[in-house]
Amino acid sequence: MKYSKNSFFLLLLILTSSCSYISGPEGFFPETKDKFFDERLSPDLKLPSSDAAINKDDHYPPIREGIPSAEIQDIPAPRQIFSSGESNEVQLRRLGELMWVYVETLPSTSWPITKNYFEASSMSIINADPDAGIMLIKYSDSLNLKITIEHGIKEASTEIFLSLYDVEQDVSLKQDPEFVQEELEKIVQFFASSASSFSGTSLAAQNLNDRKKAKIFNVNDQTIIELNLGFDRAWSAVSRALAAGNITSNDIDRDNGIFLVSFSVESESSSWFSFLNFNDKENNDSLLLGESAEFRIFLKSKNGKTNILVESLDGAKEEAEALLSKINELLS
């Protein structure tokens, strides 16, 4: 019994010492609950005397009242701006003294590329409004550049315009064609060289995608294409569309905004019977191609917009609708 008591106390002593050996200050798992008593305060963080080194560029626009923040932030999306294997056109276009950069991509994807171009240049961005598609750029102490990004006539296309502003008077200056062309060519080169390195889109500029320059609607049982363009650009756009669709222009009255064209609409007789040689070659060709009819295409401009209407000289309303639909397809 005496030995049992001695053994018990000996075992208790060993266990107590082993706990100290395992969790004591020198043990395998030392206690750290009182470690904070040994901590020392670090010196206060000091900001640079000059804020020149601080990047003040806020990549996220301020939250405006009533607008969810998710709609006004630039958040990259997991898709490429330019898809490989397609001819994504970037070019400088000109109509008289009017010049712009044409890009085959949506404005919401053109916006961050354009913004990045000016951020990487020696110029500085004074203000950028992705919802309006406008950037104000400080070019020099006396000159600002106004960059306007709009949806093009074609589906999923962008048009980038540049205008000059006097800093002191805050008024638009007369355009200098050579200067504007030089600056726009730099943007073209930047877009072309950025095809493989840029991806993403701007949620803040998503509204620009909905502001298409071409719309089609019906007024008083008359189908109309409305172009958000002045007469000169609208006339040029329709001329290119007719040429691209091989639609023959028989006469042109630009002063009154009229094209007289011939357009062949496939007739209902051009069906599966057309391959049979029941008629001679001339009649068979007529069945295949349908009868060619003449139409007037009217361009009417008002308040910076131009409406396109089509009238059949034979009074065939369905054929006039078919030609207008073809023009709309060629424009987009």
pLDDT tens for 182-213 read 999 999 999 988 766 666 788 889 999 988 88
Q: Give the contacts of 213 (CB within 8 A, at least 6 positions apart).
A: 150, 151, 152, 153, 227, 228, 229
Tokens of 307: 């409406």
Distance CA 233, CA 228 (A): 10
Stronger pLDDT, 281 or 48, i.e. the higher one: 48
| Structure-token match 């060629």, residue found | 330
Q: What are phi and psi of 243, to 5 degrees?
A: -65, -40
Q: What are phi and psi of 103, to 5 degrees?
A: -130, 130
Q: Give the contacts of 75 (CB within 8 A, at least 6 positions apart).
A: 202, 203
What the chain holds in terms of domains, given with CATH numbers, is 70-208 (3.30.310.170), 213-331 (3.30.310.170)
Stronger pLDDT, 60 or 215, i.e. the higher one: 215
Beta-carbon-side half-sphere exposure of residue 255 (alpha carbons within 13 Å): 0
Q: Average of pLDDT values for 251-278?
A: 67
Indicate the residue type of 4.
Answer: S
SS3 content of the chain, % helix, strand, coil (to 5): 35, 25, 40
CA distances from 73 to 27, 80, 146 (A): 54, 19, 22
The predicted structure's pLDDT at residue 24: 57
Least confident of 51-60, 109-118, 205-214, 291-300: 51-60
Stronger pLDDT, 29 or 162, i.e. the higher one: 162
The predicted structure's pLDDT at residue 288: 35
Q: Which of 150, 275, 299 is nearest to 211 (CA)?
A: 150
Beta strands in 182-319 (DSSP E): 214-219, 222-227, 248-253, 258-264, 292-302, 305-312
The mean of the pLDDT values for the chain is 77
